[in-house]
Homo-oligomer: A and B are copies of this chain.
């Protein structure tokens, strides 16, 4: 089994087209990775997921540990067996949950301070009267389950053990994801702790080698140039199988772009780079042109739940199907779209299905949105190969202004 080896096939300025080999298939990059927090991409069977063209999914160690627990999943042949998905799987570590239960709750912010609030995105919620549900120490993290208030402890070693049982192809170590409102001193302290945790995770990872599993290193450092540089430099030297950029991405999208410009050039050219938790349409061109290979985001699936469909032909690339102007619309969401939804259903039908809270309507929306994104990524890969990424970006970004 191959272990997340990476090959660059073409480059257009800093953007690149590559292939990431995993034990469960090859990912053509740059690639969008949909989020299947609990293993399943919301509302889709693995057969439906295949139809969208999606190449890999990212699941969450924190959530799977709490429910149903890694033991059950291991007994059922790991995540691939449990969720019945034969393609590549990534597991996030729980670092973002550290952030969600802790600082984000305290500060009321998200990964980018000005963009979205730090609301906790789990299906259930245990409230601790506004107090952070977490305690970060050198040894690891103590936290209170959002499901039932039970106490749990994650250490870098324990998270690797859990992820080995889950058996994803690409795994991430425990990190501390700081808030955009943390100051320089705290951000540095957290970064250094994350570095020490990274070494402990690597050590644990090599102690019990899992054939075919790859471990990425996570760069932290918040919105501070020197910290991001230090972190990129430090993490690059530890022999990880690839890299992820985590933590606070500043107070605006411009901040995020700057952070990528500080970070990415310092990472090894021959390894993959994953940007954690970002991926609206407008962002995709910006992050790809700064050298990102993989990124994950809940937005296409979350939007689908409320009847929001992605389309090239609307402001901010989205329409809300409940709108009464679609009542008699016998056309699909996009006339030239080859997705299952557009090939089989009209806007009027989709509107009717959402109005009636038909669960299958969500399936149809997720299928379209993922297909839409994967098609866009395909065009982006083509454009990079032809050296035409900036033309493609200009064309697409001009559409949002309509």
Known contacts A84-B345, A345-B84; A359/B43 CB under 8 A = yes
Q: Does A211 contact B (CB under 8 A)?
A: no
Q: Does A355 contact B (CB under 8 A)?
A: yes
Contact of A123 with B348 in the complex, beta carbons under 8 Å: no
Contact of A348 with B72 in the complex, beta carbons under 8 Å: yes
Stretch of A222-230, A360-368, A370-378 on the interface side: A360-368
CB distance from A321 to the nearest CB of B (A): 12
Q: Does A44 contact B (CB under 8 A)?
A: yes
On chain B, the residues within 8 Å of A83 by CB distance are: 349
Q: A43's contact among B47, B352, B355, B358, by CB below 8 Å, is which? A: B358
On chain B, the residues within 8 Å of A44 by CB distance are: 360
Cβ contacts A312-350/B at 8 Å (1 or 0 each): 000000000000000110100000000010001110110
A355 to B364, CA, bound (A): 22
Q: Does A252 contact B (CB under 8 A)?
A: no
Q: Does A357 contact B (CB under 8 A)?
A: yes
Cβ contacts A56-88/B at 8 Å (1 or 0 each): 000000000001100010011000001110000
Residue of B nearest to A73 (CB): B348
Q: Does A38 contact B (CB under 8 A)?
A: yes
Number of identical protomers: 2
Contact of A330 with B75 in the complex, beta carbons under 8 Å: yes
Known contacts A67-B355, A84-B344; A360/B76 CB under 8 A = no
On chain B, the residues within 8 Å of A340 by CB distance are: 45, 47
Q: Does A353 contact B (CB under 8 A)?
A: yes
Q: A67's contact among B40, B356, B357, by CB below 8 Å, is which? A: B356
A387 to B361, CA, bound (A): 44
Contact of A45 with B360 in the complex, beta carbons under 8 Å: yes
On chain B, the residues within 8 Å of A11 by CB distance are: none
Residue of B nearest to A46 (CB): B344
Contact of A348 with B42 in the complex, beta carbons under 8 Å: no
Contact of B330 with A42 in the complex, beta carbons under 8 Å: no
Most buried by B among A40, A355, A356, A360: A360
Q: A68's contact among B46, B47, B82, B352, by CB below 8 Å, is which? A: B352
On chain B, the residues within 8 Å of A357 by CB distance are: 123
CB under 8 Å from chain B, chain A span 272-299: none
On chain B, the residues within 8 Å of A330 by CB distance are: 72, 75-76
Most buried by B among A47, A362, A363: A363
A82 to B130, CA, bound (A): 48
On chain B, the residues within 8 Å of A348 by CB distance are: 68, 72, 76, 82
A164 to B244, CA, bound (A): 59
On chain B, the residues within 8 Å of A345 by CB distance are: 84
Contact of B328 with A72 in the complex, beta carbons under 8 Å: yes
On chain B, the residues within 8 Å of A84 by CB distance are: 344-345, 349
Contact of B76 with A346 in the complex, beta carbons under 8 Å: yes
On chain B, the residues within 8 Å of A351 by CB distance are: 68
A266 to B72, CA, bound (A): 58
Q: A45's contact among B39, B82, B364, by CB below 8 Å, is which? A: B364
Q: A358's contact among B38, B328, B364, by CB below 8 Å, is which? A: B38
On chain B, the residues within 8 Å of A38 by CB distance are: 352-353, 356, 358
A64 to B330, CA, bound (A): 16
CB distance from A65 to the nearest CB of B (A): 13
- Can you name 15 A-B pairs with beta carbons within 8 Å? A38-B353, A42-B359, A43-B358, A43-B359, A44-B360, A45-B340, A45-B360, A45-B364, A67-B355, A72-B328, A76-B348, A83-B349, A84-B344, A123-B357, A359-B363
Q: A72-B327, A363-B363 are in contact. List 8 more A-B contacts (CB 8 A).
A: A38-B356, A38-B358, A39-B349, A42-B359, A43-B359, A45-B364, A68-B348, A72-B330
